[in-house]
Structure 1
Amino acid sequence: MAKPKHKSMRNQPEMYDETKRSFTLSLTPTAVNILDSLAKIHGISRSEVVEQFARRQEHLPAHYQKGAFDMAKPKHKSMRNHPEMYDETKRPFTLSLTPTAVNILDSLAKIHGISRSEVVEQFARTQEHLLAHLPIQTNH
């Protein structure tokens, strides 16, 4: 789904039957870079990459959703500014998502016992290998 060709209007739905709202997720710089790369390839925003991912999960069978993510939260208490599951610390990033997408991410998080942020983190990291196989484009 490409961006609409007209200027966005605040509080007016564009591509979906509902308006997007801002949500803050904690993501590693690696995940954000992957989302940005996917956004650039598809000509959409980082938020729209996550929106489309979430909406694709909506109609998947529950048994597939259960096996989609293989990482659970660590069993110890988190410490601020200390990496837990990755080699880098997560930072807050704001995305504009519809309530439908947020509900889907929350459902996936509940199924897997992880946070909404971790669902997006793991989605991004599963896409990293796809980006590695794309030809590097140069501007000539």
Structure 2
Amino acid sequence: MTNFSIEMLDDLPVILTTYFEDYGGSDDVAAFSKELIPMFDRATEKLYHLIDMRRATLSFNDIMTSTDYCIKRPEGFANHANFQAFALITERKMFQSIARGLGTATFGNLNVPVVPTVEEALDWVRRDCAMRQTA
């Protein structure tokens, strides 16, 4: 059994990932990436990636491993041609601080919204899609 779930939503260009309580470590990150990247490969449009971290109990090392694997490496999802943007779903202060840190040059100046619910994340995607269509 995996410690995460990944699903492509039908009504928006969104991949929704949920980290469960036991998610963490390099094995989970590798399995997560192995399942996620082909979804970006198959996409016919740029995708948003929403990561529901409300149940996650990641350690600092888990977070650094995930950040390296998913954002800093060339094969990470944040560097994929079909990647649009991502947001974190959580109320935990530690994850909010991490999201702010991703906005630094070290991590590619990523703007990562943090919202408390899936519905608020989907609202953000809708607003961002509308803004990009009018730009």
TM-score, structure 2 normalization: 0.29
Larger relative contact order (Cα-Cα within 8 Å, sequence gap ≥ 6): 1
Q: Name the structure where strand makes up a greater proportion of residues.
A: 2
Bigger CA radius of gyration: 1
TM-score, length basis structure 1: 0.28
